[in-house]
Amino acid sequence: MQTLEAIFARSSYRGKYDPTPVPREHLQQLLEAGLSAPSGCNKQTTSLIAVDDPDILRQLNALTECKVGQTAPAMILVLTRRIIAYRDRTYFVQDYSAAIENILLAAVSLGYESCWVEGQVTDEDKIGRKMADVLGVPEEYELVCYLPIGKAANDIRRPKKQSFSERAWFNGFQKAE
């Protein structure tokens, strides 16, 4: 699929998934897409785990009350480390967000749906740490997001968005030219 087509076609899918397994070759490509994202000062703070083992998927899904992606045949878990990059600043959130967007676009281009699930794993319930423990992830890595991966079994709905002119301008704030 062409890049701009994938960018405009991507949406957050919260429906049921077809149970057909995702080929390892495709999971590999999705991980490579994530690792190809830029990172602040090239610190490469993001790591990724793809899960397609049904037993591990069940354990991970049992930990979250979030219903999104529970039927997906695969999942990508996003890990980060808070590494200092520029002056005293970290860019790990920017780094993993760019990696996630790459994975979401690669998924669309390979015919899959996904959804960026972050709030439910990083808030005070610490679901992310429990999921990380299932995967043997050491404490210096934070599990910040999971991405269900699979073919859609339901219709795809698109959120309503503000118009172009409310959010994008030329040569000055709210200028059309």
In this structure, the number of other CB atoms found within 10 A of the CB of residue 48 comes to 20
Residues from 84 through 123 that contact a copy of itself (CB under 8 A): 85-87, 89, 91, 93-94, 97-98, 100-102, 104-106, 108-109, 116, 118-119, 122-123
Residue of 17, 22, 49, 64 that binds a copy of itself (CB under 8 A): 49
CB of 144 to a copy of itself, least distance (A): 9
Closest to 149 in 3D by CA, of 45, 62, 25: 25
Q: Which is nearer to a copy of itself, 155 or 175 (CB)?
A: 175
**Burial class (CB within 10 angstroms; exposed 0-12, middle 13-18, buried 19+) of 117:** buried
Residue of 17, 46, 73, 148 that binds a copy of itself (CB under 8 A): 46
Residues from 54 through 83 that contact a copy of itself (CB under 8 A): 56
105 contacts 1 by C-beta, under 8 angstroms? no
CB of 35 to a copy of itself, least distance (A): 6
Considering CB under 8 A, how many residues would be counted as binding a copy of itself? 76
Binding of residue 136 to a copy of itself (CB under 8 A): yes
> Which residues 6+ apart lie within 8 Å of 4 measured at CB?
none
> DSSP of 79-92, one letter per residue?
EE---EEETTEE-H
